[in-house]
């Protein structure tokens, strides 16, 4: 059943936030450009802003109806920009600050999964100051093959699969390039899946078929040979189990708007949630637009729905005290402009 969104004939004034200075800047610029073009085709007045070039405090936010967040990585998915926009009373797409902050930390989100009965691979949180001997001990406890990944990074940056102990040193160096904390995680042999969501609506599942063993950055954004299967050949019952796990993970995090859950499915058909993405990609290789298209929504309509939904939810709601704080923030911005 498609979620009902009230469509107003009035065009909106929208800021698309893109770029930033995270390691995922280039992907964000591509996502932002695609979103900007889509919303313009829908008749909206769109302004693309790169926070790395234009401080958001200098933007005259009262001139705009909403912000579409197409920022990936730090200051896009970690709750920071969401906190600013909330304080300024600006409706924005995607999850709120607390959910974004939780999802951005893989270890914190995995603890939330475990407390809510969501299946996720066993893991240990590690730090760049840990001795190689300690890391080796942790990897041996988890068993090989194992996965090493940054605690807070996306697009598979800094992720390695370790088949043997002698790969650990190089994997650790790669991981800690993206932050002081990392995860050693039990590797789940099987297939790669993703579930896109729009609020509580589950979009069609996608099984991912990279040409190499690991669905890394290159497979995600550069390799046209990566396969995306919407006709999966699985029974409705099998798909329901995977979808249920993904939806439970999104509920545990508290996502809103567009989100994506990445999973592995083992040989016995058991799903294992890897992570939740609160600002998934919007490039030509991105998965949520592919799932939405299968559901019957074009890329342009998906972007339109995301903006209309956030504006509708915003109008339904902040408490009066928050309204007063927002008005004060807007007045100070007018005085500064």
Residue spans of the domains in the chain: they are 13-94+297-304+316-336, 102-118+190-295, 123-186
Give the pLDDT confidence score for residue 313 in this predicted structure: 86
How does 243-280 read in b/e, with b if 16+ C-beta sit within 10 Å? bebbbbbbebbbbbbbbbbbbbbeeeeebbbbbbbbbb
Which portions of the chain are predicted below pLDDT 50? Answer: 1-7, 318-337
Q: State phi, psi for 34 to the nearest 5 degrees.
A: -65, -40
Give the pLDDT confidence score for residue 14 in this predicted structure: 98
Tell the CATH topology of 13-94+297-304+316-336: Rossmann fold (3.40.50)
Asked whether this chain's domains 102-118+190-295 and 123-186 adopt the same fold, the reply is: no
Give the pLDDT confidence score for residue 210 in this predicted structure: 75
Q: Report pLDDT digits (tens) over 184-211.
A: 999 999 999 999 999 999 999 999 987 6
Give the pLDDT confidence score for residue 320 in this predicted structure: 37
Both tokens of 298, joined, read 């074009």
Catalytic residues: 24, 155, 221, 260, 262, 275, 277, 281
What CATH class is the domain 123-186? alpha beta
**Cβ–Cβ under 8 Å, residues 130 and 175:** no
**Cβ–Cβ under 8 Å, residues 221 and 27:** yes
Specify the pTM. 0.86
Architecture of domain 102-118+190-295: 2-Layer Sandwich (3.30)
């Amino acid at each position: 059943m498609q979620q009902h969104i009230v469509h107003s004939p009035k065009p909106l004034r929208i800021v698309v936030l893109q770029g930033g200075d995270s390691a995922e800047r280039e992907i964000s610029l591509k996502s932002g450009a695609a979103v900007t073009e889509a919303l313009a085709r829908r008749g909206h007045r769109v302004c693309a802003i790169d926070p790395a070039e234009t401080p958001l405090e200098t933007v005259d936010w009262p001139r705009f109806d909403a912000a579409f967040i197409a920022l990936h990585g730090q200051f896009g998915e970690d709750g920071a920009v969401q906190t600013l926009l909330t304080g300024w009373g600006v409706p924005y797409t995607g999850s709120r600050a607390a959910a974004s902050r939780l999802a951005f930390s893989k270890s914190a989100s995995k603890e939330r999964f475990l407390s809510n009965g969501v299946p996720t691979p066993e893991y240990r949180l590690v730090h760049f100051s840990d001795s190689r001997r300690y890391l080796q001990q942790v990897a041996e406890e988890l068993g090989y093959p194992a996965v090493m990944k940054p605690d807070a990074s996306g697009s598979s940056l800094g992720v390695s699969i370790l088949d043997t102990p002698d790969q650990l040193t190089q994997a650790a160096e790669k991981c800690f390039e993206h932050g002081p904390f990392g995860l050693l995680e039990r590797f789940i042999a099987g297939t790669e899946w993703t579930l896109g969501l729009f609020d509580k609506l589950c979009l069609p599942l996608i099984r991912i078929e990279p040409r190499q063993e690991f669905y890394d950055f290159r497979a995600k954004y550069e390799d046209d040979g990566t396969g995306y299967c919407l006709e999966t050949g699985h029974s409705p019952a099998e798909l329901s189990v995977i979808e249920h796990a993904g939806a439970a993970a999104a509920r545990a995090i508290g996502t809103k708007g567009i989100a994506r859950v990445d999973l592995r499915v083992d040989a016995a058909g058991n799903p294992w949630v890897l992570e939740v993405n609160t600002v998934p990609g919007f490039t030509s290789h991105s998965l949520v637009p592919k799932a939405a298209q299968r559901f019957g929504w074009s890329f342009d309509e998906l972007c339109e729905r995301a903006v209309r939904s956030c504006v509708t939810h915003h109008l339904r709601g902040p408490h009066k005290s928050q309204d007063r704080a927002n008005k004060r923030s807007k007045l100070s911005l007018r005085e500064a402009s």
